[in-house]
Amino acid sequence: MSGFRSTRKFRELRLNPRCAVVVDGGGPPPEGSPPTWGVLLEGEAELIDSPVEFVVEQSLHIYTRYLGEEGVKDPEPQSWIYDAENTLIKLKPENVYVW
C-alpha cells in the first residue's frame, strides 16, 4: 500500500504497527463468480520510505495495476508517486480469513 507519512494512518502505525486490512467485494458475490469474495489480513505493518528509488518503483507498480498503463501517467497519481512523503506499508500477515 502507498500513502503519505504525515497522515493519521501512518502516525497510528508508527505508534502501533499491528493492523488489519480488509478487501471485500462489497455485497453478495455475482452469480458464477469465484467462491472467494473477501479477505481479512491481520499482522504487523512495516513502513518503508527508503531507498527512494524502491518506493517510487513499487508505487508505480501499485498504481499501474489499478489505473493501467495510461492512467498512471496522469498528473495524479504521478505527483503522489514522486512526492517526498510517499511511504509504503508492507503488511506481514499472521492471520488470513477468507469468505
Question: Which pLDDT band, with edges at 50, 70 and 90, does 73 fall under?
Answer: very high
**CATH number for position 66:** 2.30.110.10
CA distances (Å), 27 to each of 23, 31, 94, 99, in order? Answer: 12, 12, 26, 12
The pLDDT, as a whole number, for residue 89 is 98
Give the structural domain span for 49.
Answer: 2-98
Please give the Cα distance from 88 to 3 (Å, whole number): 6
pLDDT in tens, 4-35: 999 999 999 999 999 999 998 777 777 877 77
User: Strand 86-98 to strand 2-4: parallel, antiparallel, or no bridges (unpaired)?
Assistant: antiparallel
Query: Residue holding cell 509504503?
Result: 88
* Predicted TM-score (pTM) of this structure: 0.84
Tally the domains of the chain: 1
